[in-house]
Structure 1
Amino acid sequence: MLNNLRREKILKSPFLRRVSMLVGGTAIGQLIAIMALPILTRMYEPEAFSTLAVYVSVLSMLTAIAGLCFEYAIPLPRSDRVAAALCLVAMGSVLAFTTVTMLVIVAFPYTFKTIISDKMHSFLWLIPVGVFFVGMYNALQYWGTRNKKFTLIAKTRVTQSLSGTVVKLGAGHFYSGSVFGLVLGQLIAQGAGFITLGLSLLRNDWKVFNKLRYKHFLHAVSRYKNFPKFTTLEVFSNIGGMQIPVILIAYYSVGAEVGYLMIAMQLLSAPMGMLSGAVAQVYLAEAADKHHRGQLNEFTKKTITSLAKVSAIPLLLAGVMAPFLVPLLLGDPWQRTGILISWMVPWFFVQFITSPVSTILYITENQRIAFVLQIMGLAIRVGFVVFAAYYTNNLIGEFYAVSGFIFYLLYFVVVLRVLKSV
C-alpha cells in the first residue's frame, strides 16, 4: 500500500517525473560505461588513462567557455524568441571558438603539445573537433531543457555512452590498447547526440527561430550580458579548479597517479553524477518559475534535503568498501584507485547536495558571488596540489580530494546565505 502511494506521488509530481526521465537515460549510459570499465582497465595501461585524463581536462576547460555561457541563460527568459536568440548566439560562439582553437593548434603545435602532454602530439586535432561536438551539444541540450524534452535528452545520453564505449573497446582490441582509441571514444561519449537534438529543433521549434529579428538578439545579449561577463570566468574557474590540478598532478607525480585519480572520480561520479546532473537540469527548468512565484526558498531547501537523504548511506558504504572492492573489479594494478575513492567521499557528498542548486546564484542574478567563489575554489585546489607536489608528493591525490571538500563546503554555506535573502 505504501509503495503504491509513493509510486502515485512520483507519477503526479512533474519534477520527480522529469528527474526520473533523465536519471533513467543517464543510468543506462553510466551502466554501459561501468560494465565496460573492468575490460578497459585490462586492455589499457594506467598510463593510457593518465593521457586520457589530460585530454579530458583540456577539453572540459575549453568547452566550458566555448559558448560564452549564453547556453546557461536559455531556460530563463519568458519569451521563446529571446531564448532562441540566446541559443543561436551560443552556437555561433562555439563555432568561432572552434575555429580559433584549430588555428592556434595549427600555428603552434609544439607549444600546445608541450603545455598539454607530449603523448598527445599525434591527435591534437581531436581537441577542436571535441570543442565543436561538445559545445554544440551543450547549447542544444539547454534548449531541450527549456522545452522540457527530457526523454530526448535521456536518449542522447544512452547513445553517447554506448557509441563511446564501443569505440574504446574496439580500438583496445584491434590496436593493442592504443591511447588514441580511449581519446576518440571519450570525444564521442561527450559530444555524440548534438545531431539528434539539432534535428529535433529543426522539426519542432524552427518556427520560433524563423521569426527572430535583430532586436531579439540585441535584447538577449543586453539582458543576459552578465553570463559572458561573469559566468564565463566563473564556470572556467570551476572547471579549471577541477582540471588544472589534474594537469599539474600529471606533470608533477611519478607513474600513473592521474590515471588512478580519473578512474576514482569516474566510479564515484557515475552513480552520483547521473542523479545530480538530472536534478540540476530539472531544477533549473523549474526554479525560474518558482522564483517568479516567490517559492524558490522552500523549493530549494526541499531539493537539498532530498539529495542529502539519497546520498549519505551509499557514499559512506563506498568509502568503506572501495579499497577492497576496486582491485577485484579493475585488477590489482588499480588498488590505488580504491584508496583515493575513500578520500573523495566527503568531497562528493557536499558536491552532490550543492551542485544541483548552485544555479540559484544565476537565477537570483548573483553571478558576481558565483565568480568570486570559483576563483577561490581554483586558488584552493591549485594551492593544495602545488603544496603537495613540493612537500609530500606521495599524497598529492589525497590533497586534491581534501581541497575539493573544502571548496564545496564553502559553496554550500554561501548558497544557504543567498537563500535567506530570496
Structure 2
Amino acid sequence: MTSFLINLFKLTTGTMIAQIVGILLIPVVTRIYSPESFGIAQLFLSIAAVLVVISPLSYHFVVMLPEKDEDSMNVFVLCIVCILSTSAIAGAVFIGFADWFGRIFEMPLIVDYLIWLPIFVVLSGLFAILNEWLSRKVRYGVLSRGIAMNSVSTRVFQIGGGLIAPSPLGLILSSVAGLTLAVLFMLRGLKEDIALLKTVTTRRMRKLAVRYKEFALYGTTGNLANSMSWELPAFMLAYFFNPTILGYYALAIMAVRLPMAVVGKSVDQVFYQKASEEKNLTGGVKTVVQEVHTRLIAVGIFPFILFIILAEDLFTFVFGASWLTAGTYARILAPWLFAVFIVSPISSLFDVLERQRAYLFFEAVILCAWAVIFSIGGSFGNPALTLALFSIGGVLMWGAKSAYLIRESGAGYRGSVLSLTRHLLLSIIISLPLVLAVFLELPFHLLLGIAGITAVAYYLLIFFTDTLVRSEVIGMVQGLVRPEHIDWMKRLGLFR
C-alpha cells in the first residue's frame, strides 16, 4: 500500500498545482464566454467523447496487462492504427452529414465546427494510450506533467481566444491546442522505448488482437455505452431545452469533475497498475480493493457534503451572478458524482478480471435508464427535475456496479458499508456549524472560513482514528522527506 500511495503522490503532486491553476482560470473563462457558447462547445465535446472511446477499440486497456514489454508495444501500435482508421471514418460521416446533425439538435452553429472533430479524436486517442504506456512504465512524472500541460494550456488558449473573439470556436480550438501540446510532450517519455518498435510486426499485432478480442467486442461496446451514458445528458438537454440550459449543465459538471479528477483519475491509473501487478503475483486483487475503496469513501465524502451546502453561493461568487443556475444544477448532481468518485477507480477491475461481458451489461442498463429518465424529465419541461431524477438514478446504478465489483474481487461488502455509514454520519455532524452559518446568512468569506475549519477537523480526525491511513501517510512522508526534517514531527507524536 505504501508504494501505491507514493506512486499516487508522484502522479497527483505533479498535476495538482497545474490543475488548480486550470480550475482557478475557469472564472475568467466564464466571464468571457456566454452560457450559450459553453452549450455549443459542450455538444461538440460530447460528440467527440463518444468517438474517442470507440477509436482504439478498447485495446488501450490491454497495454498494461501483458508481462512482456514487446507485447505491450505491439498493442500500443495496434491502438494507433485503430485510432487513425476509426477517426477518419467518423470524420467523413460527421462532416458529410453536418447539416443533418445541426437540425437534430436544433443548433445550426455546430455545423461549422464539426470539421475539427477527427483531429480532436486522434489527439484524444493518442493522449489515452500514452497515459496507459507511461503508467505501465511507472513514469508518473512525465505523465503528470503532460496532464498538467493539457489542463493549463487549454485554459490559457481559451482566455486568449476569448479576448480576441469570444465564440464556441475559441473553446473548441483551445481544447485541440491543449491536447496537441500535451501529446507532443508525452511522446518524449517514449524515448527509452524506441528499440521496442523493432519488435512490432503485423503478425504479432494480429495475434494479440485475437488474444484480447473480448476487449474489442465487449469492451468497446461497453465503453461506448459508458461514454453515451456520460454524454447523453448533454444530447438530451440540447434536444429538450436550449444551448443556455446545456451551458449551465456543462459548467456544473466541469466545476465538480475537474477537482474530482485531480485525485480520481490518478487513483484510477495507479490502482489499475497495482491491481494488475497483484493479480499477476497472487492471482487475486482482494487486498488492494479493500484498502483503496474504503479509503476513497473516507477521504472523498466530506468535500461533497461541503459542496452540497455551499454550491449556489460558491458558483455565484466564483463564476459570476449569471451562473447561479449552474450552482443549483451542481448541487443536484453532487450525490451522483460522489458515487462516481468512489466507484470509478475500481471500475478497472472489469479489465483486470476480464469481465467485459458484465461491463457491457452494466453500461447498457445505465444507458437505457438515462434515456428513460431524460425522456420523462424532458417531457415535463423542467431541467431541475430532470437532473434530480438523473442524480438519484446515478447513485443507484453506480451503487449496483460497486456491489458487483466488490463481490467479484472477493473483498466483501462489510468494510465499504461500514466506511460509508461511519464517514457520512461523521461528515454531517462536523458540517453542522456550516449549515447553521448558511441558515443565518453570514457573509460568504465567513462561510469559507468555517468550511475550512471543519475540513481540517474532519481530516485530522481521520488521520488519528484510521490506523491504515495514518500508517501509510506516515510511510509516504518518511519516504519523501529527509530524516533530519521530520524530527519535529516525531516530537509531536505523529510517527508513533
Q: Same fold (TM over 0.5)?
A: yes
CA contact (8 A) 2:289 2:406 kept: no
- Aligned counterpart in structure 2 of residue 230 of structure 1, from 205, 214, 218: 218
CA contact (8 A) 1:130 1:191 kept: no
Report how far residue 216 of structure 1 moved. 2.3
191 and 278 in structure 1: CA distance in 2 versus 1, 3 angstrom threshold: farther
421 and 312 in structure 1: CA distance in 2 versus 1, 3 angstrom threshold: closer
CA contact (8 A) 2:58 2:220 kept: yes
255 and 210 in structure 1: CA distance in 2 versus 1, 3 angstrom threshold: closer
Matched, 1:154 2:144: yes
Aligned ranges 1:22-101 → 2 under 5 Å:
22-101=11-90
- List gaps (5 residues or longer) in structure 1: 1-9
182 and 404 in structure 1: CA distance in 2 versus 1, 3 angstrom threshold: same
2: CA distance, partners of 1:332 / 1:37: 14
Matched, 1:196 2:196: no
- List gaps (5 residues or longer) in structure 2: 413-496
Report how far residue 318 of structure 1 moved. 0.6
After the TM superposition, which segments of 4 or more aligned residues of structure 1 sit over 6 Å from their partners? none
What amino acid is aligned across from residue 365 of structure 1 in structure 2? E
Give the TM-score normalised by the residue count of structure 1: 0.93
- Aligned counterpart in structure 2 of residue 331 of structure 1, from 320, 339, 360: 320
CA contact (8 A) 2:19 2:152 kept: no
Residue 322 of structure 1 corresponds to 311
401 and 256 in structure 1: CA distance in 2 versus 1, 3 angstrom threshold: farther
Report how far residue 85 of structure 1 moved. 0.8
Report how far residue 224 of structure 1 moved. 0.7
CA contact (8 A) 1:27 1:271 kept: no
Matched, 1:120 2:110: yes
Residue 164 of structure 1 corresponds to 154
1: CA distance, partners of 2:96 / 2:391: 37
Residue 456 of structure 2 corresponds to none
Matched, 1:374 2:375: no
CA contact (8 A) 2:23 2:259 kept: no
CA contact (8 A) 1:81 1:216 kept: no
2: CA distance, partners of 1:15 / 1:367: 25
Residue 337 of structure 2 corresponds to 348
- Aligned counterpart in structure 1 of residue 238 of structure 2, from 226, 246, 250: 250
Residue 134 of structure 2 corresponds to 144
CA contact (8 A) 1:42 1:330 kept: yes
334 and 421 in structure 1: CA distance in 2 versus 1, 3 angstrom threshold: closer
Report how far residue 188 of structure 1 moved. 3.1
Q: How many residue pairs are counted as aligned between the two chains?
A: 409
Deviation sequence 1:204-250 (CA, Å, 0-9, x none): 10111212334421331121111111000101111100102211111
Bigger Rg, which one? 2
- Aligned counterpart in structure 2 of residue 409 of structure 1, from 396, 399, 406: 399
CA contact (8 A) 2:61 2:132 kept: yes
253 and 210 in structure 1: CA distance in 2 versus 1, 3 angstrom threshold: same
Range moving further from structure 2, 398-407 or 326-335 = 398-407
Report how far residue 405 of structure 1 moved. 2.0
Report how far residue 420 of structure 1 moved. 2.4
Report how far residue 255 of structure 1 moved. 5.8
Over the aligned positions, Cα root-mean-square deviation in angstroms equals 1.8
Matched, 1:277 2:241: no
Give the TM-score normalised by the residue count of structure 2: 0.79
CA contact (8 A) 1:343 1:402 kept: no
